Amino acid sequence: DTGVSQNPRHKITKRGQNVTFRCDPISEHNRLYWYRQTLGQGPEFLTYFQNEAQLEKSRLLSDRFSAERPKGSFSTLEIQRTEQGDSAMYLCASNLPHRNTEAFFGQGTRLTVV
């Protein structure tokens, strides 16, 4: 499978716990995005990387959220001290760095905080 891969697909956690998600982009895509989507809304931008550099973070992104892409390949998104409001689908997408190139999404990780 050469598409964008995300793991796990589902995660249920207790409030206050930390969670980490992984995204493996399409191999030749050096730009990687994280989005969050709640029911009835479109995907909301969180952050993006070009290679290993994190170039932009949403101002809406709490300091409980951190993302890394240490070798410019896979990326991880960690949420510390989870809250019920963090329950959402977390989507990863990748594309080539040219300005006008479409992005391809992974299947997402659905987080439920109980």
Partner 1 sequence: QKEVEQNSGPLSVPEGAIASLNCTYSDRGSQSFFWYRQYSGKSPELIMFIYSNGDKEDGRFTAQLNKASQYVSLLIRDSQPSDSATYLCAVIPGNQFYFGTGTSLTVIP
- Residue numbers of the site for partner 1 (CB under 8 A)? 33, 35, 40-45, 48, 55-56, 89, 91, 93, 99-108
CB of 45 to partner 1, least distance (A): 5
Plot region of 51 (φ>0 → left; ψ -120 to 50 → alpha; else → beta) = left
CB of 5 to partner 1, least distance (A): 11
Pick the closer one to partner 1 by CB: 14 or 39. Answer: 39
Residue listed under structure tokens 């299947």:
107
Q: For the beta carbon of residue 13, count every other beta carbon within 10 angstroms.
A: 16
